[in-house]
Amino acid sequence: MIQNKVAYITGGTKGIGYGIAKILLENGVSVAFSGRKKDDVEKVENELKQYSQNILGLVSDVKRLENESDAVKNIIKKFGRLDFVIANAGLGIFKPVDELSSEEWNDMIETNLTGVFHTLKASIEEVKKTEGYYITISSLAGANFFENGTGYNASKFGVVGFTQAAMIDLRKYNIKSTVIMPGSVATNFNGNIPSEKDSWKIQPDDMGNLVLDILKMNPRVLPSKIEFRATKPNA
């Protein structure tokens, strides 16, 4: 069902995006991924070749629609199609609202929320052709607010609402849309360096396997919103 399909993952140079890319490559999906830094993209592209040669690294900043449009053009040039789009790129800046600068606010909103729109806007005509799948990575912070989280909460609440509304707009084209809301994930997010202390958390491969399971589901079913959390927080 998914072999020989093509996926595009934003923010794929580390963490959740890397984990998704790895699992999809291991299961016969051709993968394009993007990152903002050329050196990081080239390094990860070479690493991921151990799982499959059907890999394409792209330099793109999701804040720029033209970057995402160019990325999609390069995907079609190499693979000829685009079936699955996973909008994962994101960042978090955690400060009290009175200390959060407008630049920090805009960086989060433009990356986490507007970037998701740009990825969809750039890819949608190709995904219509394949009657494909659009997956966004939000967060449990998209349903649960917390101290120092105004900008991050706003962006992730927005991703949930955006994806749910897009799901209704796009299903007439036989395109499926799912928003995933993970809790704590063992990644480099917010300056964390993954180690044994993070073993209780969701792992990047867990996220990859969840995406794989979603893509392999019978077309008649649609898990439109998924909360995904560690079994025993801080175990």
Closest CA to 178 of 146, 221, 149, 141: 221
pLDDT category of residue 235 using cuts at 50, 70 and 90: low
CB atoms within 10 A of CB 88: 28
How confident is the model over 133-178, as pLDDT tens digits?
A: 999 999 999 999 999 999 999 999 999 999 999 999 999 999 999 9
Within the chain, strands assigned E span 6-9, 30-35, 55-59, 84-87, 133-137, 176-182, 225-228
Mean pLDDT across 169-191: 91
How confident is the model over 73-100, as pLDDT tens digits?
A: 999 999 999 999 999 999 999 999 999 9
Kindly list the strands in the beta sheet with 30-35, ordered across the sheet, starting from the edge strand earlier in the chain: 55-59, 30-35, 6-9, 84-87, 133-137, 176-182, 225-228
HSE (side-chain half, CA atoms, 13 Å) at 25: 24
Give yes or no for residue 191 having a pLDDT over 70. Answer: no
Backbone angles phi, psi at 206, to 5 degrees: -60, -40
Task: Tell me if 157 sits within 8 A of 116, measured CB to CB.
Answer: no
Q: How far apart are CA 148 and CA 137, in angstroms?
A: 21
How confident is the model over 116-128, as pLDDT tens digits?
A: 999 999 999 999 9
Q: How far apart are CA 143 and CA 180, in angstroms?
A: 12
Query: Strand, helix or coil at 234?
Result: coil
